[in-house]
């Protein structure tokens, strides 16, 4: 590769991207559109402006750009954030993707496409552009509408769908006709293995680098880990994007997120622009003249199909049909993943070359049409209501009512919750063990076995040593799986119906035996028996039994330590301001001789005492500890007077004995309104509820303390022909009243449960 030519091409790419991006920003368009047009203009298929005739030189840099792009997407979507989305949003995203796949398969059957061709097109249409949707929501003033928040939540999760599809398609393209379920199972094992190991090592590595106070070393190390995980994903048969995305999601969980994000923002922007420009360079504009009917057709199918799929999915997940339709109209624009998937399909010769301009043209068309569609969404919805059969409307409303009753029917019993948590642990640990055994074999055959002579061992001896080490690694999660199985069997036996005919002991032993058989069959299916032969694995099994018998307590300790480490990482709030006051003051002062220590805690959202003064809470007199500092919005307040007030997000630095600090932190963090963190977007939403006849009716708003119990605010009451706006605390709630409440999605759900609990 000619170094001067490469630098020249890179200069042309970056200057063209900067100019086109600036023009698009002035026009109110996404800069990605500008990058694509820049690539079309300077590419080899657009004479006389063909500044770059050999785009292969840029393809290498574009792959680096893809790695940084996926790393940035992962940084914006942490693992814990996925858990806070709530299962209705997860369900809606998954069902919507499946419905879009089915609709595309129907289109492919009509068009005569192959199964791979159809799968690639479906993947292109499964994911919307979160940047465009967020811009439309802001421009149309929909930020506080429930349907807009649902749409924004789904766009976040659709990035995960896109990564999964990209990985499956890359593996399928590399292996030819492959079973999708097998690819998905293998990818799941790889993801759990990589994330489990990463959450154990990456946070510790970054903390050590942060302690050295050397941002340069931290940036270099993270970049090295980024490329290493990307290569690991590629060597495992998946996309480079998967490893980069997973590292971003792991880094998003730790306090060093902001430092890493700041260090990589420049490189991400540079190489991401190179990536999109390279896609534009591969577009033959002459093909665009021939495929414009297909572009219009694909764009129309995307807008209509995605609206139908997401509306149906949101309705099935419990949203009101009207809200589901409005959210479906927002989720139409195609984004950057459509280009990436189209590039992969063309490179793998699954899609014809004209799918580059088709993907770009359809994306630009949907980006331009979605704002117009949502500007006139009210008229479109009225037309849809007139055309919709009455029985479908009644069925949708009945389903929504049933779903709401199901959600507010009461919490499951303690035993069911415990069994469910244990089953989740069993599933995660089983997938982790599967990943270790499956990918360890690839590591042994691809890396160690060819170098047996260099290591100085016979292949058989090397195999025994390697698999004994792997067996010791998986012994800890395997022992934990068996303990969880035994615990579940004991709970089921103890909570069986009193009228059951079988004794509890027999039920427990039967379930344990069944679990042991399933465990053995599963290990036999995934263990590489051929590498050592049956007797070799018998020897390893005997060694494992000896280890379990002799070191069972140590195995329990190791497993608990790993669980605690992962749980602490996921529980940390990387969005909170990070300071080193505790470490600094403890290092500079001999606090041990005073029998005191430093501790800090954060005032949580929804704290009941928010706005109260230090004199009101009386922290020193109640708990015996002192507040030294308060950090608020990055500013440290050291003048701690009795009239100072506490607000959510404040970080308090406490000095006292360990038990005093623990008691104060327990009070400060637990004295909150019960908040449901299942929603990521907490903007205010207005909803109307009917008040049923309950013991709570007839009481004043002040007596009911609705805001304290649920977090919502009653902003209007409609009683017959009378409408009361901004009711006072002396206003009474009567059966049959219609109340207009303001709160977040989670708060409104709590109010709905509060109404049902009183019935």
SS3 for 199-240 is: HHHHHHHHHHHHHCCCHHHHHHHHHHHHHHHHHHHHHCCCCH
Q: Are residues 73 and 92 in the same domain?
A: yes
Is residue 44 domain-shared with residue 167, that is, in the same domain? yes
Overall average pLDDT of the 319-332 stretch: 84
> Which tens digits make up the pLDDT trace of 432-455?
777 777 777 767 776 677 776 767
CA distance 229 to 193: 12
C-alpha to C-alpha distance for 260 and 219, rounded to whole angstroms: 7
What integer is the mean pLDDT of 735-743?
85
Summarize the confidence of residues 368-396 as an average pLDDT: 80
Phi and psi of 463, rounded to 5°?
-65, -45
For the ranges 166-175, 333-342, 504-513, 608-617, the lowest mean pLDDT is seen at 166-175
Question: Are residues 298 and 351 both part of a single domain?
Answer: yes
Average pLDDT over all residues of the chain: 76
Q: Exposed, middle or buried, 179 (CB in 10 Å: 0-12/13-18/19+)? A: exposed
Instruction: Show the domain range for 276.
Output: 3-375
Confidence of residue 682 (pLDDT cuts 50, 70, 90): very low
Instruction: Calculate mean pLDDT across residues 691-716.
Output: 82
CA distances from 695 to 150, 565, 733, 759 (A): 34, 47, 11, 8
Q: Are residues 87 and 209 in the same domain?
A: yes
Q: Which of 111-115, 495-499, 550-554 has the lowest mean pLDDT?
A: 495-499
Residue 266 falls inside a structural domain: yes
What tokens appear for 8 in the block?
Answer: 């020249």
Q: Are 108 and 117 in contact (CB under 8 A)?
A: yes
Count how many domains the chain has. Answer: 4
The domain boundary, picked from 614, 638, 670, lies at 670
Tell me how far apart the alpha carbons of residues 192 and 264 are, in angstroms, rounded to a whole number. Answer: 25
DSSP code string of 582-611: HHHHHHHS--GGGT-EEEEEEPPTTBTTTT
Residues 471 and 593 in one domain: no
603 and 554, same domain (yes or no): no
In terms of domains, do 121 and 221 share one?
yes
- Interhelix angle 215-235/56-75, rounded to 10 degrees, is 110
Query: Based on the domain organization, do 347 and 484 belong to the same domain?
Result: no
Question: With 70 as the cut, is the pLDDT of residue 752 above it?
Answer: yes
Residues 180 and 313 reside in one and the same domain? yes
Say if CB 136 and CB 372 are below 8 A apart.
Answer: no
Judged by DSSP in three states, 351 sits in coil
Task: Say whether pTM exceeds 0.85.
Answer: no
**Per-residue pLDDT tens over the stretch 508-557:** 788 888 888 888 887 777 777 766 766 777 777 777 777 767 776 666 66
Rounded Cα distance between 15 and 17, Å, is 5
pLDDT score of 173: 63
Paired with 635 in beta bridges are 632
pLDDT at 79 over 70: no
167 in the same domain as 20: yes
Sheet holding 635-637, edge to edge: 597-602, 651-656, 626-632, 635-637
Do residue 371 and residue 265 come from a single domain? Answer: yes
CATH number at residue 587: 3.30.70.1450
């Amino acid at each position: 590769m000619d170094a001067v030519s490469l630098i020249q091409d890179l200069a042309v790419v970056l200057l063209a991207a900067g100019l086109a991006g600036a023009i698009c920003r002035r026009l109110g368009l996404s800069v990605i559109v500008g990058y694509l047009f820049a690539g079309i203009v300077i590419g080899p298929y657009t004479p006389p402006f063909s500044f770059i005739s050999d785009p292969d030189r840029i393809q290498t840099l574009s792959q680096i750009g893809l790695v940084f792009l996926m790393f940035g997407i992962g940084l914006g979507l942490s693992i814990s954030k996925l858990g806070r989305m709530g299962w209705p949003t997860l369900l809606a995203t998954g069902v919507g993707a499946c419905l879009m796949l089915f609709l595309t398969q129907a289109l492919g059957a009509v068009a005569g496409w192959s199964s791979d061709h159809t799968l690639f097109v479906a993947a292109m249409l499964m994911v919307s552009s979160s940047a465009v949707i967020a811009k439309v929501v802001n421009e149309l003033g929909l930020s506080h509408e429930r349907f807009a928040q649902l749409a924004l939540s789904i766009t976040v999760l659709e990035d995960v769908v896109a990564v999964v599809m990209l990985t499956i398609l890359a593996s399928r393209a590399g292996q030819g006709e492959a079973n999708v379920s097998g690819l998905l199972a293998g990818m799941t094992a790889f993801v759990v293995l990589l994330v489990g190991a990463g959450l154990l090592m990456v946070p510790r590595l970054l903390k050590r680098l942060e302690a050295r106070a050397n941002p340069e070393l931290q940036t270099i190390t993270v970049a090295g880990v980024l490329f290493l995980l990307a290569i690991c994903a590629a060597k495992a048969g998946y996309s480079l994007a998967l490893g980069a995305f997973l590292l971003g999601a792991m880094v998003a969980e730790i306090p060093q997120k902001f430092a890493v994000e700041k260090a990589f923002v420049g490189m991400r922007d540079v190489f991401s622009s190179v990536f999109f420009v390279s896609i534009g360079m591969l577009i033959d504009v002459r093909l665009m003249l021939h495929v414009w009917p297909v572009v219009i057709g694909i764009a129309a199918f995307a807008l209509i199909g995605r609206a139908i799929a997401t509306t149906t999915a949101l309705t099935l997940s419990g949203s009101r049909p009207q809200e589901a339709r409005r959210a479906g109209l927002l989720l139409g624009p195609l984004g950057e993943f459509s280009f990436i998937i189209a590039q992969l399909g063309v490179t793998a010769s699954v899609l014809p070359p004209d799918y580059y301009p088709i993907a770009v043209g359809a994306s630009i068309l949907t980006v331009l049409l979605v704002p117009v569609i949502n500007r006139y969404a009210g008229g479109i919805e009225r037309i849809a209501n007139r055309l919709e059969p009455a029985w479908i409307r009644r069925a949708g409303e009945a389903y929504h009512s049933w779903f709401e009753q199901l959600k507010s029917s009461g919490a499951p019993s303690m035993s069911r919750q415990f069994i469910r948590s244990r089953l989740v642990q069993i599933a995660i640990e089983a997938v982790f063990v599967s990943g270790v055994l499956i990918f360890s074999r690839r590591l042994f055959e691809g890396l160690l076995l060819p170098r047996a002579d260099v290591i100085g061992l016979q292949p058989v001896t090397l195999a025994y040593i390697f698999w004994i080490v792997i067996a010791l690694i998986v012994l800890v999660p395997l022992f934990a799986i068996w303990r969880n199985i035994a615990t579940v069997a004991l709970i089921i036996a103890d909570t069986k119906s009193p009228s059951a005919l079988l004794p509890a002991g027999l039920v427990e032993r039967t379930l344990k035996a069944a679990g042991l058989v399933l465990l053995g069959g599963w290990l036999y299916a995934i263990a590489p028996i051929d590498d050592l032969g049956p007797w070799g694995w018998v020897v390893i099994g005997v060694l494992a039994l000896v280890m379990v018998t002799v070191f069972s307590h140590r195995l329990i300790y190791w497993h608990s330590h790993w669980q605690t480490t992962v749980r602490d990482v996921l529980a940390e709030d990387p969005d909170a301001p990070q300071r080193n006051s505790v470490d600094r003051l403890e290092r500079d002062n001999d606090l041990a001789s005073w029998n005191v220590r430093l501790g800090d805690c954060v005032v949580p959202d929804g704290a009941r005492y928010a706005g109260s003064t230090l004199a009101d809470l009386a922290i020193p007199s109640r708990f015996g500890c002192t507040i030294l500092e308060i950090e608020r919005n990055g500013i440290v307040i050291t003048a701690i007077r009795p009239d100072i007030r506490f607000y959510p997000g404040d970080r308090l630095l406490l000095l006292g004995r360990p038990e005093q600090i623990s008691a104060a932190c327990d009070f400060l963090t637990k004295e909150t309104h019960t908040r449901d963190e299942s929603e990521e977007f907490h903007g205010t939403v207005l909803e109307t509820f009917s008040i049923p006849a309950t013991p709570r009716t007839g009481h004043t708003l002040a007596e009911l303390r609705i805001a304290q119990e649920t977090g919502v605010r009653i902003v209007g009451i409609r009683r017959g022909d009378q409408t009361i706006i901004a009711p006072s605390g002396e206003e009474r709630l009567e059966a049959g009243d219609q109340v207009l409440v303001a709160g977040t999605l989670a708060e409104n759900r709590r109010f709905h449960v509060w109404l049902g609990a009183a019935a």
